[in-house]
Amino acid sequence: MRSWGPDAVLYDVSEFAAPLAAEALGIPAVCVGITLATKMGVFSGTMARELDKIRADVGLRPDPDLDMLNGAPYFTLMPAELENPDDPSPVQAMRFREEDEAPRPLPDWWKGSEWPLVYLTFGSVAPTMDFFPGLYRDAIDALALLPVRVLVTVGRDRDPRELGPVGPNVHVARWVPQADVMPHAAAMICHGGSGTVRAALAAGVPVVVVPLFADQPYNGERVAELGAGITLTDATGLADAVRRLLVDESYRRAAERIAEATRRLPTVDLAAAIVRELAREERAAA
């Protein structure tokens, strides 16, 4: 079930079906945050209305204040430093980081060039929409004359050849593991998706954000507030923004502060142990 929230933001409430089912069955549930927790208030009214429709279908009382969600343990991979300090985060938030993974070397698609690597991705959804190929082509053309190596990913649903010819400093692929790209990247250009932004900043890589939909404008706003990147409304000015990230070390230093905070978090495998303990306590109380 999808609903248009404030400022025409598309929000998917179906991800809360499992906690609702758990409530109906009387068993504990955990909420997993996939975006900035401090922006949940923006969506809360719309979420409550749509979730109450589902609650009625499964025989649960209305919950206009989202007490069920607000009272459940909240797991997230977002470090607290990314959250807006002016908005309260859930007091029950438990923050983790992904487990360390040894990156694999990238193929030498640029024939020995040592220019800085700029990673360009607009996620997996945007390529299936009207943003493709125009936005991608605009971005590639903006970067083609810069002294940088450019890696572009277009998602598994698109053929890189659909973008037409590209310069020798540009390589287009369907998909490359971000964990392999981040250690080599000097900057990232992205749509501002929560997972993409988090991956870049967790690696200390500054970001140019071109928000497209959903929570992306808020993520871009936060990146700019932290000084870890630049947010644009479209590909206009993209070349200048990339130059600034590469020349002005303050952007990388800000990104590295987020990376350092992320490294201090426990790895996500601890989340499974916490869930097992919640289940054990529930059985003991029964």
Domain identity same for 135 and 259: yes
Q: How many whole angstroms separate alpha carbon 23 and alpha carbon 230?
A: 42
Domain identity same for 152 and 69: no
Overall domain count for the chain: 2
Domain assignment present for 202? yes
Q: Are 260 and 228 in contact (CB under 8 A)?
A: no
Q: How many whole angstroms separate alpha carbon 121 and alpha carbon 118?
A: 10
Q: Are 210 and 134 in contact (CB under 8 A)?
A: no
Domain identity same for 164 and 143: yes
Domain identity same for 252 and 121: yes
Domain assignment present for 105? no
> What angle do the packed helices 194-202 and 249-263 form, to 10 degrees?
100
Domain assignment present for 8? yes
Domain identity same for 53 and 123: no
Domain identity same for 60 and 140: no
Q: Which domain holds residue 246?
A: 117-263
Q: Are 185 and 115 in contact (CB under 8 A)?
A: no
Please give the chain's pLDDT, 286 residues, in tens.
333 333 433 444 555 666 777 778 877 788 888 888 766 666 778 878 888 888 888 888 998 888 887 778 889 999 999 998 877 677 778 999 998 888 889 999 999 999 999 999 999 899 999 999 999 999 999 998 899 999 999 999 999 999 999 999 999 999 999 999 999 999 999 999 999 999 999 999 999 999 998 889 999 999 999 999 999 999 999 999 999 999 999 999 999 999 999 999 999 999 989 888 888 887 777 6
pTM, entire model: 0.85
Q: Are 5 and 43 in contact (CB under 8 A)?
A: yes
